[in-house]
Structure 1
Amino acid sequence: MVHFTQHIAVEVEHMIFSLEKSLFEHIPEFKIGIVVYKNIVTGDSPNLLKGRLEYFQETVRTELDERPVDEYEGVREWREIFRKLGIDPKRYRPSHEALLKRISSGKDLPFIHSAADINNFFSLQYDMPVGIYDSRALTDYIKITRGQEEDAMEGLNGRLNNMEGKLAAIDSTGPFGSPIVDAGRTKTTMETTDAVQIFYLRPSLSVSEADQLLQASSSMFLQLHSGTARTYLLHRDVPEIDTHSE
């Protein structure tokens, strides 16, 4: 059974979303959420979103006085995922942990634009890596897999990132995202009208909880950006979805 929530009827270009099946040998409850947005309006973040982000950061700073970053459940889960996949979590931090580390050091998160800012908000709120990408830069399919020897991408961190052995989101052009860093070629801008958002879900979430999370987050995204959204959930029982067959 395909788990998705349709907010408004929307035609999704033919794409195939899939998870590398060998991932389930290491993490049986591994899950990925994908949200396809169309006809959105991206711009400066409204004061409401900026206020929520600022408040959330202050709340996190207060919590960090009593609970260090490595005691956050989502950080612990994703460090464990990395270890099970042979990725050193001390060398490569999950992106939500990097956000928490930045906040704990006293640095504020920069405001980029509405799509990127709400993406950071979701990552902090749900305690997991979340990436958002411009659909116009994606081709044919999205596969969540471990990178091969030849897989590399120019990252938003300004470096060429070797993705061999690391968990990565790949299309027919190559890797474009990961729970560690994303590529520059697929970044969203204020010109973005169609986007794909990937939630690197915590395995402890049930399928029902993951569905509810995707519905709630995409609804909030649409409140700020208009447009339409459709959500998809990949897991052990549904490792591949062909949107053309819906």
Structure 2
Amino acid sequence: MELRIAAELTELIPGFKVGYIQYQDICVGESPQMLKGRLQLFQESIYFELEDKKVTDLPGILEWRQVFKKTGKDPNRYRHSAEALYRRVQKQNYLTSVHSAIDLNNFFSLQFQSPIGIYDRDQLAGSILIRLGQANEEYLGLNGRMNSLDRLIVSCDHESAFGSPFVDSERTAVTEATKNAIQIIYLKPSLEKDQSEKLTASLANMFTQIHGGIASWEIIE
């Protein structure tokens, strides 16, 4: 499944890129104890780190807030998903286990300080385009609300928008029935290509260790 980035985004945000991973024949289920334990310990370490600093002091969180500003979205009103996770942890409202795919997505989003989306590939149609949302676009999000996509960064297939570093749609949500998936890592624009490759490969490798299947990945700029 091809993915490309609209020129309007790369012109507006120099260095904009994503890590794009495709998975085949995976098995999603309850997270192994190793993953649950690592996610819990990492959240506790973040909580103590944030005792004497603000979430917005963290470089990855700040950089993605600046990206939202460039697209015309107020980052205080529209917090990217990685910042939302960090703010939960800061309040000791720790993330509980959902299933293996979501738990791993959250773990790496916290680690990279960047939004990451994972989607059921069998619910997608045609190629994928990452672009700016239009004024009349909206979808039902995983937050349970209809979300306006105006000026948000969105991922779209031939049917409609389905994902964003703000909140993803319900239409393409990964469940325990998912067998094929795609993952989009919204990498920090300042990140060098070799570091982007290492981060993307590390996520793909751990995902297949837990879920089986086959992964292929690339950096899209």
TM normalised by structure 1 equals: 0.88
In the other structure, the counterpart of 1:84 is 70
Question: What residue identity is the alignment partner of 2:216?
Answer: R
What's the RMSD between the two structures over aligned residues? 0.8
- Give the secondary-structure state (helix, strand or coil) at the position aligned to 1:110: coil
Q: Which residue of the partner structure matches residue 97 of structure 1? A: 83
Match in the other structure for 1:133:
119
1:29 aligns with 2:12: no
Percent identity of equivalent pairs:
43
Match for residue 151 of structure 2 among 165, 188, 193: 165
Instruction: Give the superposition deviation at 1:26.
Output: 1.9
5+ residue gaps, structure 2: none
Task: Give per-residue Cα distances to partners, 1:50-97, cap 9 Å, x unaligned.
Answer: 000000000000100122101011111001101111111011001000
What is the alpha-carbon distance in structure 2 between the residues aligned to residue 149 and residue 204 of structure 1? 29
2:193 matched to which residue of 1?
A: 207
Structure with larger RCO (C-alpha < 8 A, sep 6+): 1
> Is 1:116 aligned with 2:102?
yes
Q: Which runs of 4+ in 1 moved over 6 A?
A: none
Hey, what's the Cα distance between the residues in 2 that align with 1:69 and 1:214? 24
Partners of 1:179 and 1:193 in 2: CA distance: 23
Please give the per-residue CA displacement for 1:133-176, whole angstroms capped at 9, x wherever unaligned: 00111110111100113321110111111112111111111111
2:65 is paired with a residue whose SS is: helix
- C-alpha separation between the residues in 1 aligned to 2:64 and 2:216? 26
- Distance apart, 1:189 and its partner CA: 0.5
Give the TM-score normalised by the residue count of structure 2: 0.98
Q: Residue 109 of structure 1: SS of its match in structure 2? A: coil
Match of 2:5 in 1: 19
